[in-house]
């Protein structure tokens, strides 16, 4: 293994490999190789290795290691660093996140008290049967949701982020040099435009892209046919890093589902199906308050969306089992957030009686369903769709609704948006700010939802291609800036927040890739 | 470009905003249908009087109207079926390569309408077929009605007593379109998306039948049933499951006024390409295009090809789970009522683009015009078939020469691979 991996990191990787399925699979395969008659005892090791490599096991191992590297970034902390420090190094942000979690939980609890409904209850037999029979059409005859309201919306979350202050940083002088123009007042380290250009250099204007050069106006011989041909080879190679590299220039519609599964390392076997079925039976057995929140969310978002209403029933089949999935808890080791706890009645505060609620530790907010919706275009089997969504969420999207100093966290993305817009469109930024319309107030919801529900579905998928490809969410603020630039002519004329919002209300006609190219590379 | 330099006079039977707004945006002057108009958007009733011999009324060279005199040949269910059956027979006689059959004796290219009989005329034929496959569900539709009115499903012969010949009184009166029905095999394996059934509404503009010039509007849509599909016979009476007509679905409890159960064809394509692959999706849309061309070819000999006329048809197509499209029916006056805001935008564009194609740019209508439209004026339409182009210019059929839709007799070029060249049709 390369020397730049610290021994401790390699150690952990090996540990994780040993406890995963690949380890026993490899062992069995190696035994199979040993038993082969053409292997010489003198060259046992070499023989087994070549055997494993030629039967495809080496590639599988490489894929597993690749997935580990993707989700476990190299850490520069010494081994003895406390875990909460690794989750979030800045104490004041850690506190802010804790306060925010407390607020969410309080709001959830007060809804329970007000409406007199429990956080969880076992369903009576009859109800279980009924639910099971309606599993694929949960959209019709859902529960009564008139009293349920979303716990929070992106708007509420933005207010929290706006109030964040670094105690070591003097911003008390409101006209001072240190006060930032935008809403985010934290001095966090960001990638500047030059770094972004290097990071996204494969998206440069002189590079042909899916999402630009595959348009129906352009003869397929010019680009698209070759692109599809290459993509098929990539899929045949079945190697995560290659698929990721390919995705940098976008995936053709017909290949996206496979390419994404390879990048994310989703390869389903009967255990996965069984596991999903188990989650489903947990949904059937117990009724959770978060179910109603998710129901309400789907009804408020996807059901009314002319691109996603078709998939309403699918969304429940993904979102409800998701809340029961304790595998999701693993991502909290990388997340500044901590799974919320609830206590058995009468034992409030007694750690022994604490349970994580909901079991996956994620309390949905208004718009959460939109993280799943675009994926419904790609996978028609709920099980596949489920695992792809779970992986994308626990790699990327959790960062969009927790407070942290991580460069991919929503705070940094918001700040990056404001900084880029100030640098590239100073006049526009100043104008909007002076008419009482801070640009982030409009763009924040786009960022939190990763643009899902705002762009047309094909465009969201083209955008997410790049998130997976570059393993980064920084493309989101880049696009948000591009949209402001693109609508600049109308935005400089507005005199109020509402007018600005109206100019940016409909993004469904936008072609995102050319816009990103324009804003990253044209100046 | 679309701005008319001449202020045309228009008459309009329908008080629909998508029409009126379009006319007003062009600065056209409203006149009475009895006055001298250049452009008349008529309903099917008044079109009869425009062309009736009694009216003694002759259209001038600068007048166009939105229906062909006997469009019923295509838009009345029984006549359409009759014409398509005849068209197949004729091609069969000519030994046309289009009449290629598969191993089951079914047409490869021409089997695109569900098996259909006229009632009461074909009652005995139908009974024979019904007895062969007694477990099939059939759908009864009155010939002269639209929007799902009078439609019901049948799975027992007893439900059809009323239409048997025996029940008729001895003084047999030839049935009028009012009480003739068509009965068709019900597509019981429709493609479901999200568990729901849908059909396609596509808009096709015909500016001439001889030579055939037709255009497809790219912004068609899928109409979804609000209730999960269930082929169970007990659900036969629940019309929400089976009929996708917006006028029917609108009365259901689950109807959503924001999207109206409508999904764009682009979204359908995205879903199908992503989940089923590009090849089969291209094949499906290609087949749909060809079905429409065949249906128009089938009536091109009987339609009176008046040069004052154009017509914008609403094609209803159902896709089954093998991704085979079935032509269900053709509407002469597809609804121009807008149910949602995106619907209104789409229909506004439809009307705008129709006008740009049927009226020579910047001029008054002129029957002597050769009706060849430049690419710039196609808007959201693409050329579905242009007999003139297909026959006069063999270069356009070269698959390599693909400058995009509109430049060709038929959309694209790659779609034509493995198909008989359209130029062989006479």
User: Per the structure block, which two tokens stand in for B138?
Assistant: 């059939």
Residue B210 has pLDDT above 90, yes or no: yes
Query: Could you say which of B271, B278, B400 has the minimum Cβ distance to residue A377?
Result: B271
Residue A449 φ/ψ region, left for φ over 0, alpha for ψ in the -120 to 50 degree band, beta for the rest: alpha
pLDDT for position A70: 87
- Candidate from A225-229, A338-342, B327-331 with smallest mean pLDDT: A338-342
pLDDT for position A462: 97
- The predicted-structure confidence for A395-409, as pLDDT tens digits, reads as follows 999 999 999 999 999
Higher pLDDT, B350 or B426: B350
Query: Could you say which of A221, A303, A306 has the minimum Cβ distance to residue B342?
Result: A306
Instruction: Work out the average pLDDT over B54-61.
Output: 78
pLDDT class of A352 with cuts at 50, 70, 90: confident
Query: Could you say which of A219, A253, A307 has the minimum Cβ distance to residue B273?
Result: A253
Tell whether A303 lies on the interface with B, counting CB pairs under 8 A: yes
Instruction: Work out the average pLDDT over A343-358.
Output: 79
Tell whether B230 lies on the interface with A, counting CB pairs under 8 A: no
Q: Mapping DSSP to helix (H, G, I), strand (E, B) and coil, where does residue B315 land? A: strand
Q: Where are the domains of chain B?
A: 9-72, 115-186, 198-424
Tell whether A254 lies on the interface with B, counting CB pairs under 8 A: yes
Tell whether A511 lies on the interface with B, counting CB pairs under 8 A: no
Where does A405-487 have alpha helices with state H? 410-424, 426-434, 439-448, 457-470, 475-486
The set of long-range contacts for B87-93, using a CB threshold of 8 Å and a minimum separation of 24, is B87/B294, B87/B297, B87/B298
Higher pLDDT, B67 or B148: B67
> Are A448 and A154 a contacting pair, CB within 8 Å?
yes
Query: Could you say which of B254, B274, B403 has the minimum Cβ distance to residue A253?
Result: B274
pLDDT for position A165: 86
pLDDT for position A145: 85
Percent of chain B with pLDDT over 70: 79
A84/A67 Cα distance (integer angstroms)? 24
Chain B nearest CA to A381, separation (Å): 10
Percent of chain B with pLDDT over 90: 45
- The predicted-structure confidence for B85-141, as pLDDT tens digits, reads as follows 999 999 989 888 888 888 887 888 888 999 898 888 888 888 888 888 888 889 888
pLDDT for position A216: 81
Output DSSP code: residue B316: E
Please list every residue in chain B whose beta carbon sits closer than 8 Å to the beta carbon of residue A506: none
The CB-side HSE value for A439 (13 A sphere, CA atoms) comes to: 31
Percent of chain A with pLDDT over 70: 97
Instruction: Work out the average pLDDT over B412-418.
Output: 38
In CATH, the architecture of B198-424 is: 2-Layer Sandwich (3.30)
CB contact under 8 A, B414 and A220: yes
Please list every residue in chain B whose beta carbon sits closer than 8 Å to the beta carbon of residue A305: 258-259
> Are B204 and B312 a contacting pair, CB within 8 Å?
yes
CB contact under 8 A, A216 and B270: no
- The predicted-structure confidence for A187-243, as pLDDT tens digits, reads as follows 888 999 999 999 999 999 999 999 998 888 888 888 999 999 999 999 999 999 999
| Whole-number CA gyration radius for chain A | 25
Pair type for strands B9-12 and B29-30:
parallel
B301/B87 Cα distance (integer angstroms)? 10
Strand locations in A260-392, DSSP E? 286-288, 341-343, 354-356
Residue of A210, A310, A373 to mutate, interface with B, max B Cβ within 10 Å? A310
Distance between start and end Cα atoms, chain B = 36
Higher pLDDT, B156 or B296: B296
Average predicted confidence (pLDDT) for chain A = 91
Residue B34 has pLDDT above 90, yes or no: no
pLDDT for position B177: 52
Chain A nearest CA to B404, separation (Å): 5
Select the highest-mean-pLDDT range: A2-11, A65-74, A326-335. Answer: A326-335
Residue B313 has pLDDT above 70, yes or no: yes
Chain A nearest CA to B258, separation (Å): 6
Output the CA–CA distances (angstroms, integers) from residue A496 to A197, A264, A425, A430, A435, in the order listed: 33, 43, 18, 13, 6
Residue of A254, A302, A313, A460 to mutate, interface with B, max B Cβ within 10 Å? A254
For A482-515, the three-class secondary structure string (H helix, E strand, C coil) is HHHHHCHHHHCCCCCHHHHHHHCCCCCCCCHHHH
CB contact under 8 A, A457 and B405: no
pLDDT for position A127: 92
Phi, psi of A512 (to 5 degrees): -70, -35
Strand locations in A105-174, DSSP E? 120-122
pLDDT for position A201: 95
pLDDT class of B416 with cuts at 50, 70, 90: very low
* Angle between helix A312-324 and helix A270-285 axes, rounded to 10 deg: 90
Residue B248 has pLDDT above 50, yes or no: yes
Phi, psi of B222 (to 5 degrees): -100, 140
Q: What is the full DSSP assignment across B160-199?
A: GGGGSGGGS-SS--PPPTTT-EEEEE---SB-EETTEEEE
CB contact under 8 A, A379 and B275: yes
Average predicted confidence (pLDDT) for chain B = 82
Count the Cβ atoms, other than its own, within 10 Å of residue A378.
22
Tell whether A310 lies on the interface with B, counting CB pairs under 8 A: yes
pLDDT for position B146: 66
CB contact under 8 A, A256 and B274: yes
A459/B133 Cα distance (integer angstroms)? 47
Output the CA–CA distances (angstroms, integers) from residue A38 to A32, A45, A105, in the order listed: 12, 13, 64
Tell whether A214 lies on the interface with B, counting CB pairs under 8 A: no
pLDDT class of B234 with cuts at 50, 70, 90: low
* Partners of B221 in beta bridges: B201, B264
pLDDT for position B259: 85
Q: What is the interface pTM, i.e. ipTM, of the complex?
A: 0.90
> Are B22 and B46 a contacting pair, CB within 8 Å?
no
Chain A nearest CA to B185, separation (Å): 26
A290/A338 Cα distance (integer angstroms)? 17
pLDDT for position A44: 84
CB contact under 8 A, B227 and A140: yes
User: Per the structure block, which two tokens stand in for A456?
Assistant: 């047309």
- The predicted-structure confidence for B128-144, as pLDDT tens digits, reads as follows 888 888 888 898 888 77
> Are A307 and B270 a contacting pair, CB within 8 Å?
no
CB contact under 8 A, A311 and B266: no
Pick the residue from chain B with its C-alpha nearest to A385.
B275
Output the CA–CA distances (angstroms, integers) from residue A92 to A98, A106, A170, in the order listed: 10, 21, 14
Residue B164 has pLDDT above 80, yes or no: no
What's the length of chain A? 523
- Candidate from A97-101, A133-137, A246-250, B370-374 with smallest mean pLDDT: B370-374
CATH class of B115-186: alpha beta
- Candidate from B27-36, B143-152, B226-235, B355-364 with smallest mean pLDDT: B226-235
Query: Could you say which of B193, B195, B256 has the minimum Cβ distance to residue A304?
Result: B256
* Partners of B216 in beta bridges: B204, B382
Q: Write out residues 184-203 of A within 8 Å (CB-CB) of B.
A: none
∠B335-B379-B219 over CA atoms, to 5°? 45
> Are A364 and A290 a contacting pair, CB within 8 Å?
yes
Instruction: Work out the average pLDDT over B374-381.
Output: 91
* Partners of B222 in beta bridges: B200, B263
Please list every residue in chain B whose beta carbon sits closer than 8 Å to the beta carbon of residue A211: none
Residue A280 has pLDDT above 80, yes or no: yes
Phi, psi of B116 (to 5 degrees): -140, 140
Residue of B270, B345, B399 to mutate, interface with A, max A Cβ within 10 Å? B270
Output the CA–CA distances (angstroms, integers) from residue A10 to A13, B129, B154, in the order listed: 5, 73, 69
Residue B244 has pLDDT above 70, yes or no: no
A326 contacts: CB under 8 Å, gap ≥ 6: A356, A359, A360
pLDDT for position B118: 86
pLDDT for position A466: 97
Residue B66 φ/ψ region, left for φ over 0, alpha for ψ in the -120 to 50 degree band, beta for the rest: alpha
Strand locations in B262-407, DSSP E? 262-264, 311-319, 325-331, 381-386
Q: What is the full DSSP assignment across A390-406?
A: HHHHHHTGGGGGS----
Tell whether A225 lies on the interface with B, counting CB pairs under 8 A: no
pLDDT class of A176 with cuts at 50, 70, 90: low
pLDDT for position A39: 76
Instruction: Work out the average pLDDT over B366-380.
Output: 88
- Candidate from A50-59, A245-254, B98-107 with smallest mean pLDDT: B98-107
Tell whether B267 lies on the interface with A, counting CB pairs under 8 A: yes
∠A414-A419-A424 over CA atoms, to 5°? 130
Residue A124 has pLDDT above 50, yes or no: yes
Please say whether the dihedral angle defined by the alpha carbons of residues B19, B20, B25 and B31, taken in this order, is positive or negative.
positive
> Are B50 and B30 a contacting pair, CB within 8 Å?
no
Cβ–Cβ pairs < 8 A, chains A and B: 81
CB contact under 8 A, A306 and B340: yes
Higher pLDDT, A74 or A478: A478
pLDDT for position B132: 87
- Candidate from A14-18, A277-281, B200-204 with smallest mean pLDDT: A14-18
Tell whether A216 lies on the interface with B, counting CB pairs under 8 A: yes
Output the CA–CA distances (angstroms, integers) from residue A34 to A18, A41, A43, A51, A56, in the order listed: 20, 9, 11, 9, 16
Tell whether B195 lies on the interface with A, counting CB pairs under 8 A: yes
Chain A nearest CA to B224, separation (Å): 8
Select the highest-mean-pLDDT range: A27-36, A236-245, B357-366. Answer: A236-245
Q: Where are the domains of chain A?
A: 7-81, 90-161+287-392
């Amino acid at each position: 293994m390369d020397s730049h991996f610290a021994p401790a990191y390699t150690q952990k990787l090996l540990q994780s490999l040993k406890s995963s399925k690949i380890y026993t699979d490899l062992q069995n395969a190696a035994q199979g190789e040993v038993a082969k008659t053409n292997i010489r005892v003198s060259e046992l090791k070499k023989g087994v290795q070549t055997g494993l490599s030629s039967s495809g096991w080496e590639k599988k191992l490489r894929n597993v290691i690749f997935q580990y590297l993707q989700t476990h970034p190299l850490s520069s902390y010494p081994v003895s660093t406390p875990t909460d420090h690794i989750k979030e190094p800045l104490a004041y942000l850690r506190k802010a996140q804790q306060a925010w979690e407390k607020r969410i939980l309080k709001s959830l609890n007060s809804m329970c008290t007000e409406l007199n409904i429990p956080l969880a209850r076992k369903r009576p037999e009859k109800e279980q049967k009924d639910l099971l029979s309606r599993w694929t059409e949960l959209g019709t005859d859902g529960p009564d949701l008139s009293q349920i309201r979303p716990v929070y919306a992106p708007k509420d979350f933005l207010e929290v982020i706006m109030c964040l202050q670094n105690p070591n940083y003097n911003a008390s002088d409101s006209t001072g040099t240190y006060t930032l123009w935008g809403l985010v007042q934290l001095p966090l380290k960001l990638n500047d435009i030059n770094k972004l250009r290097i990071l996204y250099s494969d998206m440069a204007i002189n590079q042909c892209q899916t999402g630009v050069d595959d348009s129906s106006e352009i003869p397929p011989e010019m680009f698209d046919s070759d692109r599809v041909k290459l993509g098929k080879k990539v899929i045949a190679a079945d190697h995560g890093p290659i698929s990721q590299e390919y995705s940098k220039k976008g995936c053709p519609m017909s290949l996206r589902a496979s390419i994404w599964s390879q990048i994310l390392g989703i390869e389903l076997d009967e255990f996965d199906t069984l596991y999903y079925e188990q989650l489903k039976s947990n949904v059937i057995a117990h009724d959770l308050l978060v179910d109603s929140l998710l129901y309400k969310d789907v009804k408020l978002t996807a059901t009314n969306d002319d691109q996603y209403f078709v998939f309403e029933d699918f969304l429940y089949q993904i979102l409800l089992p998701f809340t029961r999935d304790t595998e999701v808890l693993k991502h909290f080791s990388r997340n500044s957030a901590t799974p919320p706890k609830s206590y058995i009645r009468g034992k409030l505060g007694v750690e022994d009686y604490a349970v994580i609620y909901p079991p996956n530790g994620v309390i949905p907010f208004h718009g959460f369903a939109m993280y799943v919706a675009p994926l419904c275009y790609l996978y028609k089997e709920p099980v596949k769709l489920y695992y792809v969504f779970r992986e994308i969420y626990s790699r990327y999207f959790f960062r969009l609704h927790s407070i942290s100093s991580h460069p991919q966290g929503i705070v940094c993305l918001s700040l990056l948006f404001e900084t880029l817009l100030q640098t590239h469109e100073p006049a526009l930024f100043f104008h909007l700010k002076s008419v009482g319309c801070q640009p982030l107030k409009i763009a924040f919801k786009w960022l939190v939802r990763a643009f899902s529900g705002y762009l047309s579905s094909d465009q969201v998928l083209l955008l997410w291609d790049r998130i997976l490809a570059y393993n980064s969410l920084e493309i989101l603020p880049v696009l948000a800036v591009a949209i402001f630039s693109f609508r600049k002519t109308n935005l400089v004329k507005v005199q109020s927040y509402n007018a600005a919002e109206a100019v940016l209300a409909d993004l469904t006609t936008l072609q995102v890739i050319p816009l990103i190219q324009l804003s990253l590379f044209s100046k | 470009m679309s701005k008319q330099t001449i202020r045309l006079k228009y008459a309009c039977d329908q008080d629909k905003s998508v029409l009126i707004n379009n006319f007003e945006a062009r600065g056209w002057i409203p006149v009475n249908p009895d006055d001298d108009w250049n452009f008349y958007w008529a309903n099917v009733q008044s079109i009869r009087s425009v062309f009736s011999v009694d009216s003694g009324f002759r259209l001038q060279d600068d007048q166009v109207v939105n229906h062909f005199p006997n469009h019923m040949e295509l838009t009345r269910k029984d006549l359409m079926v009759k014409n398509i059956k005849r068209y197949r027979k004729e091609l069969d006689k000519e030994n046309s390569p289009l009449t290629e059959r598969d191993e089951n004796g079914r047409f490869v290219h021409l089997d695109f309408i569900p098996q259909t009989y006229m009632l009461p005329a074909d009652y005995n034929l139908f009974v024979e077929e019904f007895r062969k496959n007694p477990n099939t569900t059939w759908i009864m539709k009155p010939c002269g009605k639209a929007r799902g009115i009078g439609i019901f499903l049948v799975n027992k012969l007893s439900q059809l007593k009323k239409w048997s010949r025996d029940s008729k009184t001895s003084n047999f009166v030839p049935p009028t379109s009012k009480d003739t029905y068509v009965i068709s095999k019900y597509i019981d394996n429709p493609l479901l998306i999200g568990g729901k059934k849908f059909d396609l509404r596509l808009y096709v503009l015909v500016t001439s039948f001889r030579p055939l010039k037709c255009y497809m509007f790219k912004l068609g849509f899928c109409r979804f049933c609000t209730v999960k599909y269930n082929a169970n016979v007990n659900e036969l009476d629940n019309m929400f499951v089976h009929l996708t007509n917006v006028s029917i679905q609108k009365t259901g409890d689950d109807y959503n006024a924001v999207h109206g159960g409508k999904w764009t064809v682009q979204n359908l394509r995205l879903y199908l390409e992503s989940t089923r692959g590009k090849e089969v999706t291209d094949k499906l849309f290609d087949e749909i295009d060809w079905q429409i061309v065949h249906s128009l070819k089938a009536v091109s000999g009987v339609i009176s090809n008046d040069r004052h006329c154009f017509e914008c048809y609403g094609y209803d197509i159902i896709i089954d789970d093998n991704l085979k499209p079935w032509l269900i029916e053709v509407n002469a006056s597809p609804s121009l009522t807008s149910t949602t805001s995106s619907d209104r935008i789409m229909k506004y564009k439809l009307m705008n683009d129709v006008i740009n194609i049927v009226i020579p740019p910047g001029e008054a209508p002129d029957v002597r015009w050769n009706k060849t439209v430049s690419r710039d004026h196609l808007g959201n339409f693409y050329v579905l078939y242009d007999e003139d182009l297909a026959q006069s210019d063999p270069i356009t059929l070269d698959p390599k020469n693909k400058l995009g839709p509109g430049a060709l007799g038929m959309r694209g070029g790659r779609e034509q691979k493995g198909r008989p060249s359209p130029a062989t049709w006479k």
